[in-house]
Amino acid sequence: MWVLDSAYRSGGVDLWGKEGSGRVQRVHHEYNPPFFFCLPDPDAYHEMTEALEEAYRAEPCTFATIFGECEGFRVFAGRPVAEAIEQQTGFAAQLFNVDVRRDQRFMAEEGIIPCSTEMRTRFSPEIPHNLEIMEIRIAGDPSLSRTCTEISVVHGRTERLFGDEREVLSDLFSLVSAYDPDVVLMAHADRWMTILQEKGRRAGFTLPFSRNGKYRTMGSRSYWSYGRVEHKNAALIPDGRILIDTEESFVYNEGGLGGVLMAARLSGLSPSLASRLTPGTLISSYETYEAVRRGIAVPFRKSDAEALRKLASLRTGDRGGMMFQPEPGIFEDVDEIDFTSMYPSIIVRANLSPETIADPETAERGFLPIALEPLLNMRIAIKQQKKTDPSVAGIDAILKWMLVTCFGYTGYKNAKFGRIEVHEAITARSREILLQAKAAADEMGFTVLHGNVDCLWVQGPRAPALQERITRQSGLLTEVEHLDWIVFLPQNDGSGAYTRYYGRHPDGSVKVRGIAARRHDTPEYIRKMQAEMFAVMGRAGSIAELEGVWDDVHRIYRDAAARLPSAPVQEMVISRRISRLKYAHRCIEGAAVVAYRQRGTDIAPGMKIRYVVRDARTYQVDPAGDAENFDIPYYRQLLEKAWKEVAYAFTAGREPGNRPFICPDYGQVATGP
Amino acid sequence: MGRSFASIRQGVKGLSEHWARVPHALRPEDRAPAEHLVAITKRHSSAAFFGCDDPLEAAVFSSLVEIARHHEKITRDGEEAPGVGP
Amino acid sequence: MLIELSRGVTIHPGSFTAVIAPERRILLALNGNKDLQRFLFLYVSGNYSRLLTGISRTSGNFEVRRPFTADQLLSVINESGHTILFVEHDPTLFDGAERLYEPVASALKQAGREALVLLWAPANDRSFAALARRADRIIEIIAEDTGPKGYGLPGRRPGRAGSGAPGAQRTLEVS
């Protein structure tokens, strides 16, 4: 059975599967799994264990954890009983498998994976399916307006519904019931679904998205992730169908439908749920599925803190990846050597796992390396395949993100299989590896221009030879990218920026990092200007040839500056994820939050807002949908800043032979040092 | 998840900004070398982070590297160079 | 052996003291007392610490454990056999873990029977107040430069609602 949805219902697990014939059926499996617990001193709690045996079929047992076997109990009861045991034992009890999703646990125990018919295909990039897909496009932004008077339904052909809201909804619901799609793609689905349900109820219609009339709910929340606040909307997930919020789903936006299906297959969760999770939660779910599949109990709480250490030792160990600071300027014939999935590769090769960290070299293979290795191998294979088969790009993206976050999860407070010492061991090894790579480059006569955690930029004659040596001495896979020229930008104090650069590939494409064109909050007008400039600069295969395109590039800036006052206001929209609702000092972002609230829109930290600055001096800002004009001087400043990032390639670069660049509009002659 | 100690790089930057206030209070003949010293404290902070445990150590190490380089240059060239550092 | 927070304000072994004080003051107390190096000193903080960077390098003998959850904090306190237990309060440890206020507070109290236990925060908050309820003393040191600007009328203490100390507890305010 090709599982497209799963849910825990009525004391068991419902699996919705699609057969080869196209028929979708629901199979219910009775399932009442136990949780486990063990005690440091069981005799002290014998009354409690006896009571549990009587009331909940509790039985003594031995169960496996990643640290080895535990003598304890299995209890056929739910979370409230587990929490009561915690309280009664003064939190001395260690509990397991309390909060593992039961549908996921069932599938792991039975060797079933979503979006496939066989376990052996779990790590295959192929996801053949015969899913019927429908796309629903409701006009408008549900955070600003709840009206549904214009909807397009795409299913083979496009049907436009517009007019009286009641009729439009009636037609929409009829189409969904008639076509009965397996997948519904809808921008802002998580906001629209509750609106549609409410409007449908008032009109006397039943929401048609669930195949059995039942829905699962997810609450909304704001949370910290990688140093910023994110927000998850509440969701109404229909049973028996895949519903993807194409606007909000990170997995869908990075990997498309293929990415969602792969995320589900790997995590053991339904595609609807997988599409709503962050890469961090996906990798954590993957680890949970792997643990259950191997009969390893999943801890409920994280109660084992890091081991005792001296302050001096912590000072030394508490560091991130190695970074070298580049000299700002422009450089020719540069090779970028990247370690493929460096941190997960270190976990696997160095056998780093909470239970092996004391002595990874001699310990038996740990849980994390065993669990991550097939994922890593899959990523390496797909990355290669992507070069000739672009159809796997979506899956590659999801794998990349899951592996990137698996490192973070080793140090994350809620990670079931995380431990800070593992996190620190990974970064310590990564620093050594990058330093060794730099030493190899130095010895082989290369100039190391820059290094950043898992990447080195070098100038020298024999990149393949250096790559071969680095791969051999580190044991990690590497890739080399040649750049005909690369610009490292300066910071405000003149020293080199670590993560702001751009460079030209031999095929003419320009790789860009950290500048306006890559920033999420850059207005479209400015992004387009930089993109146009890079398209021109991509024609230049050397610093000398760049000189030749200066006029064209500068013209693009002058034209953009001249046209700015008459530019469409929608191209001035700034999109930002807000981190808070109250601001200590007046600022543009704070004014935008106020503008949204005055409009009556519900916002929470982590949400993305879109706004146009009407008057920066007096902090007047309009939500994107309401904006009619914009502060020209303010946007001119942004435009100029973006221009300077590009102009730097011509005005302050280093160049062999110290030939000057004469830039009339800048009134300066720049030469090399 | 993140780090418990402030980043050495950020610490050196802060130290450098702190020291940048000192040259104004010095005699004119000492101002330029002092400003130069402020500039060279940050030069090697990225690499220094690898072996140094706190910003002051990294700033001093960075300054000493530059002073050693300059001294080497003087010795090699056999001539006096003005100021301190390259 | 004692920790002097301010002239005349000292903390001794055999007590659990909750302290609200500016970072500078508490660092001075830790760095200024070379004697502390001679004792088994356990520094406990969450992942992000306000003080660790400022602790003198000569305090290399201090031991550290960083719990990331309230459950881990409870384990750390219960497992500590140190003479001095310094806990830098981290309210985020208690997000969704209010059930652990009482067990952690009791564990601090229990540890304070023999050790010198100091729970520090730069300002009061709900979780700190919950833990401090079991403290033998609460000491609040007001920064000299906040004065009226920080507190408005004399005697008003913002942010301390709900932190009422039990009868057996002494609350000391020092400026």
**Structure confidence by residue, pLDDT tens digits, C4-50:** 877 778 888 999 999 999 999 999 999 888 888 788 999 999 988 99
Q: Which residues of A touch C39 (CB under 8 A)?
A: none
C54, closest residue in chain B (CA to CA): B5
Query: Is C52 within 8 Å of A314 when comparing Cβ atoms?
Result: yes
Q: What is the pLDDT of residues A265-274, one digit of tens each?
A: 999 999 999 9
Query: Is C48 within 8 Å of B11 when comparing Cβ atoms?
Result: no
Q: Same domain, yes or no, for A35 and A104?
A: yes
The pLDDT of residue C169: 54
Q: Same domain, yes or no, for A66 and A194?
A: no
The pLDDT of residue A227: 63
Going along A140-191, which residue ranges are E strands? 150-155, 157-162, 183-186
* Cα–Cα distance, B9 to B15 (Å, whole number): 10
C88, closest residue in chain B (CA to CA): B4
Query: Is A493 within 8 Å of B47 when comparing Cβ atoms?
Result: no
* Cα–Cα distance, C49 to C53 (Å, whole number): 8
The pLDDT of residue C58: 74
- Tally A–C CB contacts below 8 A: 66
The domain ranges of chain C are 3-174
Q: Is B6 on the interface with C (CB under 8 A)?
A: yes
For residue A627, the domain's CATH number is: 1.10.132.60
Query: Is C100 within 8 Å of A91 when comparing Cβ atoms?
Result: yes
The pLDDT of residue A659: 38
User: How many domains is chain A partitioned into structurally?
Assistant: 4
The pLDDT of residue B2: 55
Task: Spell out, as residue ranges, where chain A has pLDDT lower than 70.
Answer: 224-228, 409-411, 652-673
Quick check: C173 pLDDT over 70?
Answer: no
A421, closest residue in chain C (CA to CA): C66
- Return the percent helix, strand and coil in chain A, to nearest 5: 40, 25, 35
The pLDDT of residue A654: 45
Q: Same domain, yes or no, for A589 and A508?
A: no
The pLDDT of residue B4: 83
Nearest CB to B4: which of A227, A314, A408? A314
Q: Which residues of C touch B53 (CB under 8 A)?
A: 57
Q: Which chain B residues in 10-49 lie under 8 Å from chain C, judged by CB atoms?
A: 11
In DSSP terms, C141 is beta-bridged to C174
Q: Is C57 on the interface with B (CB under 8 A)?
A: yes
Quick check: B86 pLDDT over 60?
Answer: no
Q: How far is B85 from chain A (nearest CA, A)?
A: 17
Query: Is A318 within 8 Å of B2 when comparing Cβ atoms?
Result: no
Q: What is the pLDDT of residues C37-49, one digit of tens each?
A: 788 999 999 988 9
Q: How far is A229 from chain B (nearest CA, A)?
A: 13
- Which residue in the block uniquely carries the two structure tokens 């740990």? A366
What would the DSSP string read from start to end of A592-641?
HHHHHHHTT----TT-EEEEEEEETTTTEEEEGGG-----HHHHHHHHHH
For residue A340, the domain's CATH number is: 3.90.1600.10
Query: Is B4 within 8 Å of C68 when comparing Cβ atoms?
Result: no
The domain ranges of chain B are 8-77
- Which residue in the block uniquely carries the two structure tokens 């140093």? A227
Q: Same domain, yes or no, for A365 and A487?
A: yes
- State in Å, rounded, how far the first CA of chain A is from the last one: 68
The pLDDT of residue B70: 86
Find, among A238, A288, A251, the residue nearest to A107 by Cα: A288
For C3-174, CATH number? 3.40.50.300
Query: Is A423 within 8 Å of B47 when comparing Cβ atoms?
Result: no
Contacts within 8 Å (CB) and 24+ apart, C101-107: C101/C127, C101/C130, C101/C131, C102/C130, C103/A90, C103/A91, C103/C74, C104/C70, C104/C73, C104/C74, C104/C77, C104/C131, C105/C130, C105/C131, C105/C132, C105/C133, C105/C134, C106/C134, C107/C74, C107/C77, C107/C78
What would the DSSP string read from start to end of A272-340?
HHHTTS-HHHHHHHHHHHHHHHTTBPPBSS---PPPPEEHHHHHHH-----EEPPPSEEEEEEEEEEET
Please determine, for the modelled complex, whether the ipTM score is greater than 0.85. Answer: no
Query: Is B53 within 8 Å of C57 when comparing Cβ atoms?
Result: yes
Query: Is C73 within 8 Å of A305 when comparing Cβ atoms?
Result: yes
Q: Same domain, yes or no, for A352 and A399?
A: yes
* Cα–Cα distance, A221 to A233 (Å, whole number): 7
- A300 in a structural domain: no
* Cα–Cα distance, A240 to A237 (Å, whole number): 9
Task: Suggest the residue from A83, A223, A308 to mutate for an interface test with chain C (most C CBs closer than 10 A).
Answer: A308
Phi then psi dihedrals of residue A507, to 5 deg: -80, 5
Interface of C with A (CB under 8 A): 42-43, 47, 52, 55, 57, 59-69, 71-76, 99-100, 103
The pLDDT of residue A479: 94
Q: How far is A366 from chain B (nearest CA, A)?
A: 23
For residue A73, the domain's CATH number is: 3.30.342.10
Domain that holds residue A661: 564-670
Query: Is A318 within 8 Å of B4 when comparing Cβ atoms?
Result: yes
Q: How confident is the model at residue C170 (pLDDT cuts 50, 70, 90)?
A: low
- A557 in a structural domain: no
Nearest CB to A412: which of B1, B3, B5? B1
Q: Which residues contact A566 (CB under 8 A, 6 or more apart)?
A: none
* Cα–Cα distance, A649 to A547 (Å, whole number): 10
Query: Is A309 within 8 Å of C47 when comparing Cβ atoms?
Result: no
Q: How far is A292 from chain B (nearest CA, A)?
A: 26
Q: Same domain, yes or no, for A328 and A231?
A: no
Instruction: Tell me the residue type at A563.
Output: R
Cα separation values, A2 from A14, A23, A324, Å = 13, 11, 49
A87, closest residue in chain C (CA to CA): C99
Of residues C56 and C103, more confidence is placed in: C103
